[in-house]
Each structure stands twice: as structure tokens, then as C-alpha cells.
């Protein structure tokens, strides 16, 4: 019965795509392709949204300097959500009402994505590579949804199992953002522990944008946790570790990829030393071990933005690059159905940024399922594992 439901939904989606194509292709003209992205540029995760935007724009401009894709220049509309789902819905509606956007690329934040994705897909636009490793971004199978970021459930399941086996933790706990993001991370943690015949000892939540974690840390300490998993973003990660260290509690902590950022150690300093995290891409630190191509990219980014790139810049650049590769494969007669077909046949190789290759098919719109573990050592993230199964 479930299979019939998914097939029916897929057929309806294809019917919508054909209808949109027959009416003309939104966002596509003879000489341009316009896309959109919804980022946080003013709210609690603006330190992620701004570099993501910059990485996307940098890659599009590089392609335009080469003449565009099949002679079409790439332009982008950027909307600020403030990490607020209500504001994001209004932004999505504005972008869709203009009928001049072909696809949405790299929208940021699980609460934002969960609120806007139904509108975008319902309007017949591709919803590509959102910064929300949530299962709903690629399942159930739907022609317009594609994801490259390993889902919270999969990578946290693997990360927790690895950490427990490697370090012998007995009392694993969870500090989580009280929304779809935190709940999805929690499911992954519970799954991993369940496979080890263990359960969470304690869990405690917080509201988006919280700055005081004293009550949560006190509760977790009272539960005698020896590993605290953090379903937090950058500032909340720093605040939680800072509070633990302030009260003299040197517990190990593991944060999701949402906290794997240079900003974490730049803001936290010595108080976040030793933090474990899940890595999607390696952080692009300049140094002697940097490849020539990566070094050139870092210098180009610095020249353009007068700032060092971080992992969010790299991921923004990469989602735009995968989009460009799919446009090339779709050919000059671009429409939504042709783009989807190109995506479903796309396979990328590992690139100079150090991420995995991505592979899509008609039966699987998730390009990668695995992450790696890293740890902050001497003020920098260091990879400590290969990709975990």
C-alpha cells in the first residue's frame, strides 16, 4: 500500500512538472537562469548563512566568467529568513509569486526547510541540497527533492556507535534544540545506542536562539553523563561547553555537523578544546598541507570577500557546483523534467574541497549517507576517522 502511495505521489508530481513545462519554464530565458536561496542573514545562525551565500555566489560568478551554462548566465535571488519559519514562508511565497525562479538551492536550517519545502515542491520547482540533513528532504522519493548532506539519523547513529566503542562511554545524554532539527538528531542517537543495547540516560531541550544553558547543564551533570551529544548550532555549542567548563565539568561532548565550523573554536577558544564533531567537508584551513587547487580557491575567496573561507563557504560553493554540473548534463533545451532526469543520472567525483563523490539515481535522491568524526585540537578541527558506516 505504501508503495502505491509513493508511486501515485510521484506520478502527480510528474504531471505538475509537465504542466509547468507546458506553460513555460520559470526562471529560464534565452540567455539566463535564475535560482533562489533562503538563508539566515540576520538571525542566530547568520554566521553560517552569510558564508553559504558567498560560496554559492562565487561559484555562479565563476561559471558566468566562462560564458555561463549553454550560453545562459546564472543569477540568484537571496532572501533572509532570520532563521524564522514564518519569515521564510513569506520569502518563499514572494519568490514563487514572481514566477522567475527555476530552482531553490541550499536553503538553510531545518525549521526553515520544513516550512518552505512543501510550497516550493508544490509549485513545481526543484528543491536542491538544503542545509538540513532531515529525512524529509529526500524521502519519500519525489522528483523535485534532492539532497547531498548525510541525514542526521544516519550519521549520528554511526558517530555515537563509534564514540561509545572507542571510548567506552556508559552514560550518553542529549542536549537538543527543541524543533525538527533536535528531534531528528535524537532519533539518530537513539538508533545508534539501541544497536549497542543502550539507551539515553537523560535529555534536555532549549528554544532556538537561547543563550543561557545553566539549567540544562546542571540537569545533565546531575545525571552523571559521560558523553553529551549536542543537537546545537555554533553559538549554542559554545555556550553549552562554556557553561560546563565554568562549573568544573569536563565531560566529553559531540556536536552534529551544524556545529562543525571554524566559528566554534574562534568564538569558544580554549573552552571548546577537545570538542568532537561530525564533518561533512574538511575545514579549508590554509597551510602547508593544502593542495595547490585548494590554496588557489582560498586566495580567490579572500580577495573577493576580504575574509577567510570556512566550511560553510566550501559547502555553499559545492552545492552550486553540483547544480552547475546538472545544468550542463540537462543540455541547452532546459526544462524541469530534463533537469530532474539529469540529476537522476549524475555522479560526481571527489573534488579539491575534500568531500565525497555524490551519486544519484531514479530510485535514490540522496547523494551521500556518511560523515566523518573530527575533534578540536590546538584550536583547529582535525579529522580523526574516515567515513563511518
The phi and psi torsions of 388 (rounded to 5 degrees) equal -100, 140
Going by pLDDT thresholds of 50, 70 and 90, the confidence category of residue 313 is very high
Phi-psi region of 129 (alpha: psi -120 to 50; beta: other; left: phi over 0): left
Task: Specify the DSSP element, H or E, that contains 288.
Answer: none
Residue 23: pLDDT above 70? no
The model's pLDDT over 189-204, given as tens digits with 9 standing for 90+, comes to 999 999 999 999 999 9
**What gap in Å lies between CA 354 and CA 356, rounded to an integer?**
7
As assigned by CATH, the class of the 2-150+292-358 domain is: alpha beta
Count of alpha carbons within 13 Å of 95, Cβ hemisphere only?
32
Task: State the number of CA atoms in the 13 A half-sphere of 18 facing the CB.
Answer: 6
Secondary structure E strands in 157-296 = 172-177, 202-206, 227-231, 252-255, 276-279
pLDDT, tens digit, 9 for 90 and up, residues 196-240 = 999 999 999 999 889 999 999 999 999 999 999 999 999 999 999
Domains 2-150+292-358 and 152-279+373-383 share a fold: yes
* One CATH from 3.40.640.10, 2.60.40.1120, 3.40.190.10, 3.40.50.2300 for 152-279+373-383: 3.40.50.2300
- Candidates 291, 354, 258; CA nearest to 52 is 258
At residue 1, the pLDDT reads 31
Helix, strand, coil % over all residues of the chain, rounded to 5: 45, 15, 35
**3-state DSSP call for residue 254?**
strand
Q: H/E element holding 141?
A: none
Record the pTM.
0.85
- CA–CA gap between residue 319 and residue 130 (Å, rounded): 9
For residue range 321-350, list pLDDT tens digits in order: 999 999 999 999 999 999 999 999 999 998
Cα 233 from chain centre: 12
pLDDT at 290 over 80: no
Distance CA 313, CA 308 (A): 9
Question: What CA–CA distances, in Å, run from 234 to 168, 177, 189, 270, 287?
Answer: 27, 12, 19, 15, 24
Sorted by where each begins, the domain ranges of the chain are 2-150+292-358, 152-279+373-383
Amino acid at each position: 500500500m505504501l508503495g502505491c502511495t509513493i508511486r501515485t505521489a510521484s506520478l502527480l508530481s510528474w504531471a505538475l512538472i509537465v504542466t509547468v513545462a507546458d506553460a513555460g519554464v520559470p526562471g529560464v530565458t534565452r540567455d539566463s537562469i535564475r535560482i533562489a536561496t533562503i538563508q539566515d542573514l540576520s538571525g542566530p545562525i547568520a554566521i553560517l548563512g552569510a558564508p553559504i551565500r558567498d560560496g554559492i555566489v562565487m561559484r555562479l560568478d565563476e561559471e558566468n566568467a566562462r560564458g555561463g551554462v549553454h550560453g545562459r548566465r546564472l543569477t540568484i535571488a537571496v532572501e533572509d529568513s532570520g532563521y524564522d519559519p514564518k519569515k521564510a514562508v513569506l520569502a518563499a511565497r514572494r519568490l514563487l509569486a514572481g514566477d522567475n525562479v527555476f530552482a531553490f538551492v541550499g536553503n538553510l536550517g531545518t525549521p526553515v526547510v520544513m516550512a518552505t519545502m512543501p510550497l516550493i515542491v508544490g509549485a513545481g520547482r526543484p528543491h536542491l541540497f538544503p542545509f538540513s540533513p532531515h529525512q524529509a528532504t529526500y524521502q519519500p522519493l519525489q522528483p523535485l527533492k534532492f539532497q547531498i548532506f548525510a541525514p542526521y539519523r544516519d550519521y549520528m547513529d554511526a558517530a555515537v556507535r563509534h564514540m561509545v566503542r572507542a571510548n567506552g562511554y556508559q552514560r550518553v545524554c542529549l542536549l537538543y534544540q527543541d524543533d525538527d532539527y533536535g528531534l531528528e538528531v535524537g532519533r539518530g542517537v537513539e538508533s545508534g545506542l539501541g544497536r549497542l543495547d543502550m539507551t539515553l540516560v537523560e535529555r534536555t531541550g532549549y528554544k532556538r536562539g537561547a543563550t543561557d544553558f545553566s539549567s540544562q547543564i546542571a540537569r545533565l551533570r546531575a545525571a552523571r553523563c559521560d558523553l553529551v551529544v549536542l543537537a546545537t548550532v555554533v553559538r549554542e555549542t559554545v555556550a553549552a561547553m562554556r557553561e560546563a567548563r565554568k562549573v568544573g565539568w569536563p565531560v566529553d561532548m559531540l556536536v552534529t555537523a551544524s556545529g562543525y565550523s571554524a566559528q566554534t573554536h574562534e568564538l569558544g577558544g580554549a573552552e571548546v578544546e577537545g570538542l568532537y564533531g561530525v564533518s561533512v567537508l574538511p575545514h579549508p584551513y590554509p597551510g602547508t598541507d593544502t593542495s595547490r587547487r585548494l590554496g588557489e580557491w582560498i586566495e580567490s575567496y579572500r580577495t573577493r570577500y576580504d575574509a577567510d573561507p570556512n566550511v560553510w563557504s566550501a559547502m555553499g560553493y559545492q552545492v552550486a557546483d553540483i547544480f552547475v554540473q546538472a545544468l550542463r548534463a540537462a543540455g541547452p533545451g532546459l526544462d524541469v523534467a530534463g533537469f530532474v532526469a539529469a540529476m537522476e543520472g549524475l555522479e560526481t567525483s571527489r573534488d579539491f574541497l575534500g568531500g565525497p563523490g555524490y551519486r544519484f539515481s531514479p530510485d535514490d535522491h540522496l547523494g551521500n549517507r556518511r560523515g566523518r568524526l573530527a575533534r578540536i585540537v590546538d584550536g583547529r578541527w582535525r579529522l580523526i576517522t574516515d567515513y563511518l558506516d
